[in-house]
Amino acid sequence: MRATRRSRETTMSRRILWTISLLAAALTAQPPVSRAATVGSRDAAVRRQFLAAMDRVEFGAPDTPDPPALVHYPLYEYLVAARLQRDLAAAPGRTTDARVASFLDAHAHEPVTYTLRRDWLLSLAARGRWGTFLPLAASSADPRVACDRLAGRIASGKDPEDLPAQAIARWLEPRAQPAECDPVFAWLQRRGDLTEDLRELRVRGALDAGNPQLALQFAARLPAARAAPLRLWARLLESPQPTLESIAADPHRAAPAAAIAAGFDLLSRRDGRAAMSLLPRLLDRPGLPPALRPRLQLSAALGAAYDRDADALAAFARVPPTDIDAMAGEWRVRAALWNGDFAQALAAIDALPPAVAAEPRWQYWRARAVAATAGAAAARPLYAKIAQRRDFYGYLAADRLRRPYRLHARLTPIDRRILGRLAADPGLIRARELYFCGMVERATLEWRYALRDADAATFVQAARLAAAWGWYERSIIALKQADDWDDLRLRYPRPYRRAVVAASRMARVPPDWLFAVMRQESLYQPDALSPADARGLMQLQPRTAVAIARRWHLRRPTPAQLMSPPVALDLGAAYLRDLLDRFDGQLALGLAAYNAGPAAVERWLPDQPMPADVWIENIPYRETRAYVQHIVEHIVAFAWTRGAPPPRLARLLREVRPPPSFAARRRANSRSFQ
């Protein structure tokens, strides 16, 4: 008992020291130079000990005695958990089970137990220890554990009436299931529960989820006659145009209406012109279900709008008004704007649901349409309603009125009482240390758990704390959770300044533009990694980064080097400069190309010059449209944070026109087809 008490007293003393360091950082609001920056060399030394011990676990090296500083380090439990996971994989058994159970009991519900608990449950199931497994697995949402839970109930003879229904529900999931489900599905098969009707329902579920490959796997167990229309449906999702062409060429070929609709929707998004040319033949099919006609007409109209086709407005006019939902109504407005028909745009805005029409986006476009149809004086009060806003449409409206932008900026006050409580919270101390050790996912879990019941005032002070650590992503998210948007200095930090300035000079791109792209791309996370393998602060794919380095005579980066801020910023700035030059210096086009790729932007170029706001509104990809708008908003905010007059959107976003080189190429291509 005496040793235990001494250990607790030492731990408490260490916690007080960590608390003081956290609180000092938050009050001074001086973020560390790097993620590994620390209050003192002693802290850095114990972090190195912790990381070295974790590396020994990961690479299978023998453990060494833990020095006292490491034992009392806030993350020591993570090292213990890692060793338990290693032992569970190498030597599972009752002794290891008892050690794991003791650890989980001592740290119940804490984030340090999450992966250890899952691994232990999977190990118990693999060893058939159902008596221990089943009570512990009841609350797990992990798909593998869920399958093992069903298998355990089957194996242990616990077969209540709802067990077959639960197993069938898992079998019907429209996605591939883990291997742990195989014994459950085999049990259903032996029982004769997997009827042809259920198998067809499973295939349809996969098709509805847009997964034709999985649907074809499921359809292999169906009789040929029953599988044929479902296979056709899968082909419509895999190759919509040739499959629809074959259906249109044979009016008497049987095809499910839902399959035709799904394939035509897909084709309309990919190639609106091809869909429009196919539409008459599909509508002429004998026995066409009445509900399918407006569905196809609406898909064709949307495809034409995505392609910025002049026939889009006429296509929308052929759709019954009752079949035009809010999303389609918005694209009808966009089609009218692209074609310069402000009277139709106004009518389409009036037809939107009231809640949608009241959004700042459509308030702005209502004002633009009124100005074009009834004059500037009639539009002035409409612009004034949204010119007070700190967003893209508010700035556009203020430009129309020649008024200054209203940024509504204010500093959030420091609440030392809340800040002190947060700095002393063991979970936030662990979150900070995990972040500094580069374990960002685990740090995020600790942060979320510590603040799971936080109110708005607490989130604001937590944002200050995270910003002081240099964890800007978490700081900005905390402000969002607090619904506090006005502290622009906290929302728009300027880290990596030297690297940004150097990249700006090299590529001749304003620093504010680089800060804005960095904030939007990665939220300042130097090790950000996207599902598409885009990496680092500027989210460049390795292949793109190598090509940029070659063009700019920079050192060829490895994928790991893209996580280095100076490397990422140099290459990102160079890429943005390349795109701006490719599109004749037009910021809207360059930003859209950074997000969607230059080939997509070339497809979206207008034949004639048009206002930038109209072009941006008609970007077919919602993500890219929002990306351009948000970065322009960020540029305005970053200028304010350095005390400069905010740049006007009217100057940033020039009239959009095809670059001279592209216009010449387009004319040459046009002549070649004549």
Q: How far apart are CA 593 and CA 607, in angstroms?
A: 18
Domain boundaries, the chain: 2-190, 239-324, 497-671
Q: What are phi and psi of 644, to 5 degrees?
A: -95, 155
Average pLDDT over residues 622-648: 97
Decide if pLDDT at 15 tops 80: no
Considering the chain, what is the average pLDDT of its residues? 92
Instruction: Say what the pLDDT of residue 666 is.
Output: 59
Instruction: Say what the pLDDT of residue 251 is.
Output: 86
Average pLDDT over residues 248-264: 93
Average pLDDT over residues 53-64: 96
Pick from 501, 471, 480, 476: which is nearest to 489 by CA? Answer: 476
Instruction: Say what the pLDDT of residue 652 is.
Output: 97
Instruction: Say what the pLDDT of residue 378 is.
Output: 98
Give the bridge partners for 529, in sequence order: 535
Instruction: Say what the pLDDT of residue 252 is.
Output: 86
Decide if pLDDT at 139 tops 70: yes
Q: Name residues whose C-beta falls within 8 Å of residue 591's C-beta, 6 or more positions apart in sequence.
A: 517, 627, 628, 631, 632
Average pLDDT over residues 416-443: 96
Average pLDDT over residues 502-516: 98
**Same fold for the domain at 2-190 and the one at 497-671?**
no
C-alpha separations of 574 from 68, 494, 508, 571, 627 in Å: 49, 19, 9, 5, 19
Percentage of the chain beyond pLDDT 70 is 92
Instruction: Say what the pLDDT of residue 659 is.
Output: 85
Q: How far apart are CA 304 and CA 208, in angstroms?
A: 24
Q: Among 1.25.20.10, 2.60.120.560, 3.10.310.10, 3.20.20.100, name the CATH number for the domain at 2-190.
A: 1.25.20.10
Give the bridge partners for 372, in sequence order: none
Instruction: Say what the pLDDT of residue 345 is.
Output: 98
Two structure tokens written together for 60? 């299978």
Q: What SS3 string covers 281-310?
A: HHHCCCCCCCCHHHHHHHHHHHHHHHCCCC
User: Which residue numbers are catalytic?
Assistant: 521
Pick from 71, 99, 75, 73: which is nearest to 85 by CA? Answer: 99
Instruction: Say what the pLDDT of residue 249 is.
Output: 92
Residue with tokens 């000092």: 24
Instruction: Say what the pLDDT of residue 61 is.
Output: 95
Confidence band, pLDDT 50/70/90 cuts, at residue 660: confident
Q: What SS3 string covers 22-51?
A: HHHHHHHCCCCCCCCCCCCHHHHHHHHHHH
Instruction: Say what the pLDDT of residue 574 is.
Output: 98
Decide if pLDDT at 4 tops 50: no
pLDDT tens, residue by residue, 390-420 = 999 999 999 999 999 999 999 999 999 999 9
Instruction: Say what the pLDDT of residue 68 is.
Output: 96
Instruction: Say what the pLDDT of residue 609 is.
Output: 95
Decide if pLDDT at 58 tops 60: yes
Instruction: Say what the pLDDT of residue 21 is.
Output: 54
Quickly name the fold that domain 497-671 has: Lysozyme (1.10.530)
Confidence band, pLDDT 50/70/90 cuts, at residue 160: confident
pLDDT tens, residue by residue, 544-593 = 999 999 999 999 999 999 999 999 999 999 999 999 999 999 999 999 99
Q: How far apart are CA 254 and CA 232, in angstroms?
A: 10
C-alpha separations of 170 from 98, 139, 145, 219 in Å: 32, 16, 12, 17
Q: What is the DSSP string of 432-499?
A: HHHHHTT-HHHHHHHHHHHTTT--HHHHHHHHHHHHHHT-HHHHHHHHHHTT----HHHHS---SHHH
Confidence band, pLDDT 50/70/90 cuts, at residue 665: low
Confidence band, pLDDT 50/70/90 cuts, at residue 7: very low
